[in-house]
Amino acid sequence: MYTLPKLEYSYDSLEPFIDAATMEIHYTKHHQAYIDKLNAALESHPKLQDLPIEDLLRKLNTLPKEIQTQVKNHGGGHANHSFWWLNLKKNTKFDGEISKEIKKKFGSYDKFKEEFIKTALSVFGSGWGWLILNKDNNLEIIKTPNQDSPLMEGNVPLLGVDMWEHSFYLKHGPNKTAYMEDFFKVINWENVNKNFEKAK
Ligand SMILES: [Fe+2]
């Protein structure tokens, strides 16, 4: 059975950029719902419930046809949200190998930020913006619809932003640009760097 990963900080840790109420609802209601629905979908496939969620998504296309959509939506939701919580921390430094690679690829931190925000804001409806290490070992900024995970296409997510309204509407209303500015203040660069080192 999949379970909610422990949140290693309090709901108000990211104030004033991401508010405590959003964090609590997002974690206890939205993330939990993805997990419950994923477990329900896998009830008749207990062996699959033992796989790390990332492995389950990587092999999505080889799973029994009748559960693929549920695993894609709810397994994707579980993986993306597990990733999201680790993604966030105040006052980390844009540093390490990843900062060098980002500057090499995008020119500067500001250019990277601009392109990442542009891509995230171009998500129509609900989805995610990502910095990934793609199959050719290059950094790339992409978006995915719904709860699709970069893992499903064989890419490795390094940084992601949740563009579903439940992630920002309480505090930012429809102002996604303000949400993106606040998101950039709570990127956990230590974790992005760790993801990059592991992906290489
Ligand atoms: Fe979310």
Domains of the chain: 20-86 (1.10.287.990), 96-199 (3.55.40.20)
Q: Side-chain half-sphere of 135: how many Cα atoms within 13 Å? A: 6
pLDDT value of position 98: 98
Q: What strand order describes the sheet that includes 139-145?
A: 139-145, 127-133, 156-162
**CA 83 – CA 63 distance, rounded (Å):** 23
**CA 26 – CA 43 distance, rounded (Å):** 25
- Could you tell me the distance, in angstroms and rounded to a whole number, from the CA of residue 71 to the centre of ligand 1? 16
Task: Tell me the longest C-alpha to C-alpha distance in the chain.
Answer: 50
First to last CA, the chain: 30
- Could you tell me the distance, in angstroms and rounded to a whole number, from the CA of residue 107 to the centre of ligand 1? 30
Tens-binned pLDDT, residue by residue, of the chain (200 aa): 999 999 999 999 999 999 999 999 999 999 999 999 999 999 999 999 999 999 999 999 999 999 999 999 999 999 999 999 999 999 999 999 999 999 999 999 999 999 999 999 999 999 999 999 999 999 999 999 999 999 999 999 999 999 999 999 999 999 999 999 999 999 999 999 999 999 99
- Could you tell me the distance, in angstroms and rounded to a whole number, from the CA of residue 41 to the centre of ligand 1? 20
| DSSP state letter for 123 | -
- Could you tell me the distance, in angstroms and rounded to a whole number, from the CA of residue 13 to the centre of ligand 1? 17
Neighbours of ion ligand 1 (CB under 5 A): 162, 164, 167
Query: Cβ neighbours of residue 75 under 8 Å, at least 6 residues apart?
Result: 34, 38, 53, 56, 57, 60, 149
- Could you tell me the distance, in angstroms and rounded to a whole number, from the CA of residue 104 to the centre of ligand 1? 31
Overall pTM > 0.75: yes
- Could you tell me the distance, in angstroms and rounded to a whole number, from the CA of residue 180 to the centre of ligand 1? 14
Beta-carbon count within 10 A of 70 CB: 15
